[in-house]
Chain A
Amino acid sequence: MSNLKAFPTGGLYLLLFFLYLFGPLAVMIVTAFNSSSFPRISPWECLTSDWFFKLFEDETLIAGLGNSFVIGIGVVLVAVPVGLAAAIVLSQVGPHLRSVIYAVFIAPILMPGVVIGLSTLIFWDRLGTFFGADYDSFFYSGMFLTIAGQVTFISAYSMLVFLSRLQRFDPTLTEAALDMGASQTQAFVKVLLPFMTPAILSASVLAFLASMENYNTTVFTIVAESTFTTVLAQKVRYGLDPSISAVAVIIVGITLVGAIIFENYNRLRTQKEARAAAASSVPPVARFATNPLVIIGFVLVCMIGFVTWVGTHDSSVCEANVEQMKRAYQQEQLEQQRNRTPATASEPAEQASPPANTGGGVFSPGNLAPGQPEQEEAPASPFGNVFAPENLQGGD
């Protein structure tokens, strides 16, 4: 830290900031494992992996994911070459023209996504009308329109990636290639492109992710079809459901794993370069624990563990118990009410109580708390599959 005195406050501030950054995500992730049908932490009902299964059974979401994937690939295939071309053109024009062209190239990033989406929609619709195209031609295809709309601004993103890499390119390398008899095309393919390869990779990842997560433009251009994001938005708008939290768990997980692998790959590379340096001073245990390969391996083991857990964990017994307790609690309330006002309470009581057939007020609400941890630790019960998740939710 530049300022030792400010360190405690600064550190505290950073801590609070990262809490703010990750807190909402953490809460969301935890709700994915609560069997409560509304995404919440308290009251905690049962540790469950059912929401993941519900997710995999959601056909519209899976179909949307498929569409998003196709669109993402399409966007990468178009936006990355366009971005590269834009960066190269920009690097070749004079300083005066450069600022003008730069402003034009950067404009799609600054434009609201909504505007890009609907201008794309209108433009191709007009064009389709002009050519008298059929309604099933690409002018009206949601997939095509979405790729066109997203490429508009994602090209500018990838251009920025290429520009920063291009700044470090030594143009004498191209001259050297030309001088040694290479044609301009050869110099481009053999010298410039290999230099740009890392940037091409990162621009591709960036473009794909930006495409996957885009909503504002896509919601206009997708027309009758759907993408992962639009399905998700639909789900969120029309009812909160912990299976959305399960989506978040998966996405956060993938992002974290990606980030860890990326970081360790980088560290591996720097380590390779300066291997001899500090190897001796670190105790062997610490060295083992911080070895990038060990970390990557650990992450992979965790992932496999998690997936197996999701596949095998069975919370049905616990959930049945919670269900029972809820009913018992209701029953008890009803009886209390009935005792107090026996005449008027009977009607609503019949309505409120579902086809309750399990044993009555054996469990009081007070018994709930101690019962829970036992159930959580309970291993997969042999007759768990009798209760399908849908049945359990129906009783709420």
Chain B
Amino acid sequence: MREIGRFFSGFANRNGLPVAIYLLVAVSTWIFVLVILPQLTMFDFSFRHNLPPPKIGGPEDVHTLEQYRYFVMGNEITGGGVNTLDIAVLFKTLVAAVFVTIIDLAICYPVAYLLAQSSEGSAKRLLVLALIVPFWVNEILRAFAFRILFGATGVINGAGMQLGLWDAPIDFIGGNVALYAGLAYAYILLMIFPLYNAIESLDRNQIEAARDMGASWAQVHRRVVIPYAKPGIASGSTMVFMLTAGALAAPQILGGPSSLWFTQIIYQWFNSGGNWPRGSAYAVILLAICIMFVLLIMRVFKVSIGEIGR
């Protein structure tokens, strides 16, 4: 306690009282009122029954595992069993997110390397600027563009049939091809920039030294560039995985009629389903999985959270 007191008096001394108050009020409001308390409330809410507003706070408003039980076991009425539907959706979402992350990593690593290690100053600046432009186009519009591309009468089907590659329009939307392509496209820049920043700071002499000592290009990448870019790879992979697993717009727009994304289930419980506690429970499950994923990445790549957030 005294330690904390000393910290605050030191903090006030250092910044002057008005600035110290601004700093502490701004930061603590943000962290407590906007981040921690809402998460705790959601966590608490996920352990409650779905009650009509008048009954909330009443005798029936007790803690329960009902919502989590539903996720695992399904509805009581339909009998015990396992809620294969929702679990399958979660599983599919995660697998797809990993898949999209790997695709993005594979596409972006060469791009980041080529851009970062090329020397032409102004051309390079322009290319990097060009990378940013699509990123500022609305997420919805990016998904819409893929809808146009992959539609039954879209450009790809048109071109494919024109060239005689296939006869009847292929249902890219139903087959989720459009969805995966759209997701990979939507978050590609969050993979490129961490990679680019990491590789750019690599001293080019190291690569040349490795070449000089007789390493092949594959060896240069495996032994020099990739180990150096590891924090960037971890950061990009985390961001892409998180955003893909948590995506809502792209699955809504590009997802086939039969396929669901886990976030869509949460959305349904909140809107049409009208069951907020259940939606909260599902959100807690999603959050827990995301946290585990970050921890896993940190473990696998042996990086700190600071390197991931960058």
Contacts and interface: CB of A to CB of B under 8 A. Distances in A.
B290 A85 contact: no
A119 B144 contact: no
A263 B125 contact: yes
Contacts of A114: 246, 248, 263, 266-267, 283, 286
B131 interface: yes
A144 interface: no
Contact of A119 (B18, B39, B119, B308): B39
Nearest to A24: B145
Interface string A100-132: 001111111111111110111111001001000
Q: Which 8 A-B pairs have the closest CB atoms?
A: A184-B16, A112-B246, A106-B309, A123-B38, A85-B26, A119-B38, A119-B42, A24-B145
B148 A233 contact: no
A70 interface: no
Q: Is the interface of A mostly helix, strand, loop or mixed?
A: helix
Given A2-B204, A110-B294, A255 B137 contact: yes
A259 B129 contact: yes
Interface of A: 1-3, 6, 10, 13-14, 17-18, 20-25, 27-28, 31, 38-42, 81-82, 84-86, 88-89, 92, 99, 102-116, 118-123, 126, 129, 148, 151-152, 155, 160, 183-185, 187-188, 209, 212-213, 215-216, 219-220, 229, 232-233, 236-237, 240, 244-245, 247-248, 251-252, 255-256, 259, 262-263, 267
A303 to B, nearest CB: 16
Contacts of A21: 130-131, 134, 185, 188
5 contacts: A92-B11, A106-B308, A114-B286, A151-B30, A185-B16
A82 B27 contact: yes
Interface in B134-187: 134, 136-149, 151, 153-155, 158, 185
B304 to A, nearest CB: 6
B41 A119 contact: yes
Contacts of A13: 110-111, 114
Nearest to B25: A85
B178 to A, nearest CB: 11
B45 interface: yes
Contacts of B118: 1-2
A219 B110 contact: no
Given A20-B185, A27-B149, A116-B38, 14 more contacts: A17-B107, A89-B27, A92-B14, A110-B308, A111-B290, A113-B246, A114-B283, A115-B287, A123-B41, A219-B267, A237-B252, A244-B141, A248-B138, A251-B137
Contacts of B107: 17, 20
A41 B155 contact: yes
A112 B290 contact: yes
A236 B143 contact: yes
A10 B217 CA distance: 13
B146 to A, nearest CB: 6
B15 A188 contact: yes
A105 to B, nearest CB: 7
A350 B120 CA distance: 67
Given A21-B131, A118-B266, A233-B253, A213 B290 contact: no
B27 A86 contact: yes
B280 interface: yes
A251 B26 CA distance: 33
Contacts of B204: 2
Given A188-B15, A244-B144, A232 B138 contact: yes
A213 B136 contact: yes
A245 B39 CA distance: 38
B31 A24 contact: no
Centre residue among B26, B30, B242, B243 by max chain A CB count within 10 A: B30
A126 B38 CA distance: 10
Contact of A219 (B31, B111, B133, B248): B248
B144 A240 contact: yes
A237 B253 contact: yes
A162 B281 CA distance: 35
A209 B252 CA distance: 22
Contact of B37 (A24, A28, A123, A229): A123
A169 to B, nearest CB: 14
Contact of B306 (A17, A89, A102, A112): A102
A43 B243 CA distance: 36
A184 B35 contact: no
A42 B34 CA distance: 49
Given A17-B107, A263-B125, A118 B42 contact: yes
B309 A216 contact: no
B218 interface: no
Nearest to A183: B16
Interface string B244-261: 011111001100000000
A39 B242 CA distance: 31
Nearest to B266: A114
Contacts of A209: 136
A103 B111 contact: no
B70 interface: no
B133 A122 contact: no
B34 A188 contact: no
